[in-house]
Amino acid sequence: MKYVSFLNNKKESFGILLDQKIVDLTMHYEQYRQGMEWIPCLKSAIKDNKISELNNMDVTGLPVVNLSDVTLLPVIPNPGKIFCIGLNYENHRAETKRPESQNPTIFTRFAESQTGHGDSIICPKVSDKLDYEGEMAIIIGKAGRYIDETNAMDHVAGYACYNDATVRDWQKHTSQFIPGKNFHKTGGFGPYMLSADEVSNYKEMKIQTRLNGEIMQDASLSDLIFPIEKLINYCSTFIELSPGDVIVTGTPGGVGDRRDPPVYMKDGDVIEIDRKNNRAKIKGINMVKKHVKTTKEKKGGIVSKENFIHLSNLAIFDTKNKSEAKK
């Protein structure tokens, strides 16, 4: 399921994204607040362990708003912590000419520096060296300290695209990255959180960055130097991770600052960060049994659902010519 945070008539809400419509869950809980647990935002839904229930909710008849009528907010507008991982793709580490490390490079971003999908990233007046960094972020779903790598993925609520836009000259003032990473409205987060149940193997996902339609970065999450399991383990060792916390997993090679000549974002540019998972669901194929909890909206039980198939195992079949088309 795809979850969004948004402004509707100047009111913060969250909901389920269905094509160009949003099921407004905040409005739903307000209308039927009596006898129901109040869930005001996506972070609260994650904290209260409601995502699995919402994933299986029958949304028929629930209030709906048009995507075009709202302003999208950062997926989690109010995360308690945002950990950003530096130099986590070998081709990016190589282009920066930084030495290899036995441990992740970590810096922090503050919630106030974020912006939502479709909103402008602001180039500060003190610099003209605003660079893109397309990344995949994970949203923590379950609190934990000293989380073992073997069960680290149980602590992930979902995934979202992130543009860790960086003011390069301010990043390089000292060995600490924080100033260049926290200018107002430079952290593009969204448009949605894809719930973890939709991703059977995150290493099959790809992340691509396009600037004015031109591909600038293109990588697979299987290329991460420190995989997500290690990042969760490492971060939870020095501080407890809480629901709604965000770990931005790193950017691939191809950043503008390391190109010759350098390429920086300027007024009017369009930057896109795209998640690709190379998988598909085919009706009636690769069926699995899943247990669905009983909720106030829907009866639970054991149901059959299509599971994802990697695109390498699929081909187009032309029923008219009875021939297999090229993959």
**Residue 31: its pLDDT value, please?**
75
Instruction: Report the alpha-carbon distance of residue 287 to residue 96 in Å, rounded.
Output: 45
**Residue 306: its pLDDT value, please?**
55
Task: Name the pairing type of β-strands 166-167 and 82-86.
Answer: unpaired
DSSP 201-261: -GGG-EEEEEETTEEEEEEEGGGBSS-HHHHHHHHHHHS-B-TT-EEE----S--GGGSSS
Q: Which of 165, 184, 158, 207 is CA-nearest to residue 50?
A: 158
Distance set, CA 173 to CA 181, 185, 238, 240 (Å): 12, 20, 26, 30
**Residue 313: its pLDDT value, please?**
54
- Beta bridge mates, 215: 210
What's the average pLDDT block by block, 10 residues per block, for the chain (327 residues)? 96 96 91 70 96 93 96 98 97 95 97 97 96 98 98 98 98 96 98 97 97 97 98 98 98 97 96 74 59 50 60 47 44
Read off the tokens for 10.
Answer: 């100047």
**Residue 297: its pLDDT value, please?**
43
Residues 6+ apart with CB under 8 A from 125: none
**Residue 38: its pLDDT value, please?**
76
**Residue 323: its pLDDT value, please?**
44
Buried b (16+ CB within 10 A) or exposed e, 112-148: ebbbbbeeebebeeeeebbbbbbbbbbbbbbebeebe
Buried b (16+ CB within 10 A) or exposed e, 10-35: eeebbbbbeeeebbbbbbbbeeeeee
Instruction: Report the alpha-carbon distance of residue 168 to residue 69 in Å, rounded.
Output: 35
> Does residue 289 sit in helix, strand or coil?
strand
The answer to whether residues 304 and 285 touch, using CB atoms and an 8 Å cutoff, is no
Instruction: Report the alpha-carbon distance of residue 104 to residue 100 in Å, rounded.
Output: 10
- Domain locations in the chain as residue ranges: 2-72, 82-277, 281-324
What is the CA angle 148-149-153, rounded to 5?
Answer: 105
Domain spanning 82-277, CATH class: alpha beta
The answer to whether residues 146 and 189 touch, using CB atoms and an 8 Å cutoff, is no
Residues 6+ apart with CB under 8 A from 320: none
